[in-house]
Copies of this chain bind each other. A is one copy, B any other.
Amino acid sequence: MATNRQKAVATIQVDNARTRVALWEFARGAETGHHVHGFDYVVVPLGDGELTIVDDNGKETRVPMRAGASYFREAGVSHNVINSGAAPFAFVETEFK
């Protein structure tokens, strides 16, 4: 389900045999677009904010983010991620190849 939201910007910081590390920067209201995670991954929020996760059934879940409160997810996660907070937001995603 395409939307006309602005896209988040990903900057690859590390890409080697072990991992790919990307800085993801979201303007207010920006989204990643739907994607399926091919690797296990860790997200490190760089600030406080709120993301809305949209699953494959269109279900939306608002998730508060706190600076430095990291979390791990397994490969296979399929969703769109929207910055539903009141300000720009960024996190670093570390993937496990």
Contact = CB atoms under 8 A, between A and B. Distances in A.
Interface of A: 13-14, 16, 18-19, 21, 23, 40, 42, 44, 46, 67-72, 90, 92, 94, 96
The copy count of this chain in the complex is 2
B70 A21 contact: yes
Contact of A13 (B21, B70, B94, B96): B70
B72 A16 contact: yes
A21 B68 contact: no
B23 A70 contact: yes
A9 to B, nearest CB: 12
Nearest to A69: B13
A68 B24 CA distance: 9
